[in-house]
């Protein structure tokens, strides 16, 4: 690795990966993401839901690499201790974050979900951190220093990576476009695969949104070639417009 | 992790995993292997083909865990430097091993493969190491101290794990139970934490399943104490049954 390279470390957190109960998908996704952005993913560690081990790994990685990404352990159950460990690593408090709470409560209101102490754990954010938007299930990730704390569920992890992509200094300038569709992945899959097959220099990702009363899928396109990116985006938009017209769908105006 | 547990660390070596070009399969395979043997896989690291990083990671892991497994970097090309790094970590020489050379030459004779310097690299084994038989492609792995050096190709790695299995001291046999819930983690979090607090000898994990048309969460309990495991499982099942009754939920009969 050369001195000028932008480097990253990845920390995967969770007993379920180490027991074999869950097959990790986030290492490969993060590796591809970094490569696309011209960032050199240089080390990965997987640790259990043990606070001291998370703290030690985060501190080792953040001292060594330009960026650290973590995945896992930010859900509502007692074994979700990543936020606690990150707060400890940075020696800051872990209060309920008003903005995070508002994001969660807005989604819960829409779905009629009860506010429980377990759910409110997800609004605890280390002091001084910025939120990372989670369009899929509302519970946000966060950035503190050079550490980006994200979800373990692969589709949410990927959506969060897309959310932070524009803020990262990579070796390659990558832009992204989002097309919102009021139809599910089943209707989009085949025609989208056809478009992707003709644009191997554009990365097309599909992110179904959960917890709404209506179907919503965000299609995110990413490339370092703006001309190709805009051409592919126009094709995806035309595909979605066609499906909307056919099914008489109008997207709600509210932001997510 | 209790003091009596038999622990292991895994070191995955290879640029191709970190670039996303190759999807790792060995973490999941090793995790399952360890769980089956009652060994607690406690940490995984993935490092590139950089000697200093391999040496540092091997030394950190072998000091900390009963067993260290490594995978990758023992092939015939210039970037296969795992044997060199292990020899350096243990401060021993790396001569051509007569037994390893005989194994390779017997296979090469059979297949009419030319003996080249590149191929003979695979017979270099750290002084004092025992060989690990490779039934698949003949090139052996090796054990030195508590470190087991194996191939990166998944089918060979798995075969090598099977080869060393009888030589490993497993921990107590750990059993697991799964309770399926038709409710999300938000509803389960608080009462589950309460049960977990009374069973510190039973590990309770919560695994939300996505991509279904209905909500489904698998609760996995794991312990080496069958009596305690069954008692905790009964409590979790009662909790789930109560939530199902309250919300009038019936789980679909099909497997997931």
CATH number at residue A76: 3.40.980.10
Of B48, B50, B220, the CB nearest to A21: B220
Contact B65, B9 (CB under 8 A): yes
Cα dihedral B44, B185, B182, B173, rounded to 10, equals 40
Given this model, what pLDDT does residue A1 score?
A: 43
Whether residue B87 is found in the same domain as residue B155: yes
Q: DSSP character for A130?
A: E
- Out of B139, B167, B195, pick the residue that ends a domain: B167
> Which has more pLDDT, A30 or B159?
A30
Flag whether pLDDT at B22 surpasses 70: yes
- Domain holding A237: CATH number? 3.30.310.50
Q: Are residues B153 and B185 in the same domain?
A: no
Tell me: do B88 and B163 sit in the same domain: yes
Same domain for B184 and B158: no
Are A110 and A56 found together in one domain? Answer: yes
Q: In this structure, are residues B202 and B225 in contact, taking their beta carbons and an 8 Å threshold?
A: yes
Domain that residue B184 falls in: 175-247
Query: Domain end: B167, B192, B210, which one?
Result: B167
Residue B252 covered by a domain: no
Q: Determine which of B5, B12, B28, B31 to mutate to test the interface with A (most A C-beta atoms within 10 Å).
A: B31
Is B122 within a domain?
yes
Residue A231 lies in a domain: yes
B160 and B218 fall within a common domain: no
The Cα diameter of chain A in Å comes to: 55
Query: Least CA distance to A14: which residue of chain B?
Result: B205
In a domain, B153, yes or no: yes
In sign, the C-alpha dihedral spanning B236, B183, A132, A4 is positive
* Residue found under tokens 């569709």: A181
Do the domain assignments include residue A1?
no
Q: A interface mutation test: which of B19, B20, B195 has the most A CBs within 10 A?
A: B20
Numbers of helices and strands, H then E, in chain A = 9, 9
A114 touches chain B (CB under 8 A): yes
- Do B31 and B110 sit in the same domain of this protein? yes
Q: Which residues pair with B43 in a beta bridge?
A: B9
Based on the fold, state whether residues B38 and B163 are members of the same structural domain: yes
Asked if A28 and B31 come within 8 Å (Cβ–Cβ), the reply is no
How many Å apart are CA B158 and CA B156, to the nearest integer? 5
Question: Do B209 and B107 share a structural domain?
Answer: no
The radius of gyration computed from the CA coordinates of chain A, to the nearest angstrom, equals: 19
Is A57 found in the same domain as A162? yes
Structural Rg of chain B based on CA atoms: 23
Please check whether residues B64 and B116 belong to one and the same domain.
Answer: yes
Are residues A52 and A58 in contact, defined by beta-carbon separation less than 8 angstroms? no
| Positive or negative torsion for Cα B117, B118, B123, B126 | positive
How many separate domains does chain B show? 2
Q: pLDDT tens track of chain A, all 256 residues? A: 444 689 999 999 999 999 999 999 999 999 999 998 999 999 999 999 999 999 999 999 999 999 999 999 998 888 899 999 999 999 999 999 999 999 999 988 888 888 888 889 999 999 999 999 988 888 999 999 999 999 999 999 999 999 999 899 887 777 889 999 988 877 888 888 899 999 988 988 887 776 666 788 889 898 888 999 999 999 999 999 999 999 888 887 654 4
CB atoms A42 and B18 under 8 Å: yes
Q: Is B254 helix (H, G, I), strand (E, B) or coil?
A: coil
One domain, residues A44 and A86: yes
Tens digits of per-residue pLDDT, B126-144? 999 999 988 777 889 999 9
Ramachandran bin of A38, using left for φ above 0, alpha for ψ from -120 to 50, beta for the remaining angles: left
- Collapsing DSSP states into helix, strand and coil, what is residue B218? strand
């Amino acid at each position: 690795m050369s001195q000028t390279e932008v480097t990253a470390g990845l920390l995967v957190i969770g007993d379920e990966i180490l027991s074999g109960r869950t097959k990790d998908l986030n290492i490969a996704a993060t590796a591809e993401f970094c490569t696309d952005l011209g960032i050199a993913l240089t080390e990965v560690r997987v640790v259990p839901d043990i606070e001291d081990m998370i703290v030690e790994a985060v501190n080792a990685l953040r001292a060594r690499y330009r960026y650290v990404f973590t995945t896992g352990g930010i859900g509502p159950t007692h074994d979700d201790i990543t936020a606690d460990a990150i707060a400890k690593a940075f020696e800051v408090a872990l209060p309920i974050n008003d903005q995070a709470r508002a994001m969660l409560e807005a989604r819960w209101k829409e779905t009629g979900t009860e506010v429980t102490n377990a759910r409110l754990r997800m609004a605890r954010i280390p002091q001084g951190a910025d939120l990372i938007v989670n369009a899929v299930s509302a519970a946000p990730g966060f950035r503190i220093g050079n550490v980006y704390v994200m979800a373990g569920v692969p589709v949410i992890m990927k959506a969060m990576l897309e959310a932070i992509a524009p803020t990262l200094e990579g070796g390659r300038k990558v832009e992204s476009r989002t097309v919102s569709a009021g139809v599910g992945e089943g209707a989009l899959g085949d025609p989208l695969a056809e478009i992707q097959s003709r644009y191997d220099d554009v990365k097309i990702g599909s992110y179904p949104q959960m917890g709404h009363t209506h179907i919503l899928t965000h299609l995110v396109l990413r490339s370092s070639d703006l001309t190709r990116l805009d051409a592919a985006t126009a094709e995806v938009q035309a595909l979605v417009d066609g499906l909307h017209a056919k099914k008489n769908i109008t997207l709600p105006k509210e932001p997510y």
